[in-house]
């Protein structure tokens, strides 16, 4: 087996004649693969790892993905320049009020940013003796031009998926680089919304340590963070069968970070899924990811552990004095962030 990157034709329904059918497959040469579809938000739609001579799928893919092209029901939707919701789709920045398209919750919120619903430009692919990678670019004015006037600055995100085996584990690394090509100050947040597959009767167990959760009303934080109750407490492994959640967790533990990933960054273990007789999936994040959304989809064939740089509706939170974590990138600066997911 050899490390490689291939470009394949996807089995698209004829109804999706407006989308490109090309997907990219990373192969680490040791049995793991990662599949990315640039046309629906540079979405990671598959990550398989070798287990006992077979391929084990870690990413849930909506069975209708290639029929309807819905970008936010499976894979790893990339949420940029804001994760989750903005109430009413309305906010004020530097004295100017902006109104976004209300795409969520029966037209009452803007949801999940702009990047997850549009095609990205593939700007680099590569492989070496260690692994394979692909880099995509989202540029707001080019890829979501109707939304550009509704955001205070031009926004660009480069995201690299890097797949390789390291110390006996499969590693999938997400390297994000954000800037504003227009030279303006850029307000933003970034989140990932991975749907990790939970096979039926798998006995999977979940662990997502946190010390608090954001109180929500109609999915919007009130500004209050409360201590975890028993239903939301995932500080120890719990059976997936007992977990029904849709929450924004905060005050993440100040655990000692590690530098045992593919790079030299200090990463924190923010979530785990234990698949008995197969292995443990670990979600590692750098210091920028200060909230974790946990979500049990109604279909109960997946579980979402979503690293966010800020909570839902963060751009509006200063109005009631909350510590919102919203990022304001100075002109001509770049911002980088790392997620690394491991299995073994």
Do 72 and 193 contact (CB within 8 A), yes or no? yes
The reported pTM is 0.95
Computed over every residue of the chain, the mean pLDDT equals: 93
Q: How far apart are CA 134 and CA 150, in angstroms?
A: 30
* Overall average pLDDT of the 169-173 stretch: 97
Largest CA distance in the chain: 59
Per-residue pLDDT tens for 242-299? 999 999 999 999 866 676 667 778 899 999 999 999 999 999 999 999 999 999 999 9
Band (pLDDT 50/70/90 cuts) for residue 218 is very high
Q: How confident is the model at residue 19 (pLDDT cuts 50, 70, 90)?
A: low
Confidence check: pLDDT of 21 > 80? no
CATH number for the region 4-343 comes to 2.70.98.10
> In the chain, what are the domain boundaries?
4-343
Residue-level pLDDT at 70: 82
pLDDT of residue 15: 59
* Helix, strand, coil content of the chain in percent (nearest 5): 10, 50, 45
The token pair at 164 is 């390789």
- Are 45 and 35 a contacting pair, CB within 8 Å? yes
Strands 22-27 and 4-9: antiparallel
């Amino acid at each position: 087996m050899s490390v490689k990157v291939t470009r394949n034709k996807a089995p698209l329904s004829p109804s999706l004649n407006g989308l490109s059918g090309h997907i990219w497959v990373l192969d680490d040469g040791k049995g793991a693969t990662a599949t990315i579809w640039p046309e629906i938000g540079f979405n990671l739609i598959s990550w398989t790892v070798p287990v006992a001579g077979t391929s084990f799928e870690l990413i849930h893919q909506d069975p209708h993905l290639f029929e309807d092209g819905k970008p936010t029901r499976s894979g790893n939707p990339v949420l940029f320049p804001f994760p989750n919701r903005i109430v009413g789709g309305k906010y004020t920045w530097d004295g100017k009020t902006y109104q976004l398209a209300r795409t969520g919750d029966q037209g009452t919120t803007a949801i999940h940013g702009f990047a997850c619903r549009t095609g990205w430009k593939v700007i680099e692919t590569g492989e070496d003796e260690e692994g394979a990678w692909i880099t995509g670019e989202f540029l707001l004015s080019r890829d979501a031009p109707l939304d550009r006037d509704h955001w205070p600055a031009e926004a660009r995100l480069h995201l690299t998926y890097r797949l390789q085996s390291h110390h006996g584990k499969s590693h999938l690394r997400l390297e994000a680089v954000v800037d504003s090509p227009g030279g303006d100050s850029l307000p933003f947040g970034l989140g990932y919304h991975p749907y990790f597959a939970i096979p039926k009767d798998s006995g999977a167990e979940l662990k997502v340590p946190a010390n608090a959760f954001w109180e929500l009303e109609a999915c919007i934080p009130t500004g209050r963070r409360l201590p975890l109750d028993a239903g939301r407490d995932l500080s120890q492994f719990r059976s997936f069968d007992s977990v029904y959640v849709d929450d924004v967790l905060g005050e993440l533990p100040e655990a000692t970070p590690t530098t045992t990933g593919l790079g030299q960054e200090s990463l924190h273990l923010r979530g785990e899924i234990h698949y008995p007789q197969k292995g443990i999936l670990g979600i590692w994040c750098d210091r920028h990811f200060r909230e974790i959304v946990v979500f049990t989809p109604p279909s109960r064939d997946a579980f979402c552990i979503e690293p966010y740089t800020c909570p839902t509706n963060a751009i509006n939170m200063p109005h009631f004095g909350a510590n919102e974590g919203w990022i304001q990138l100075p002109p001509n600066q770049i911002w980088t962030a790392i997620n690394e997911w491991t299995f073994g």
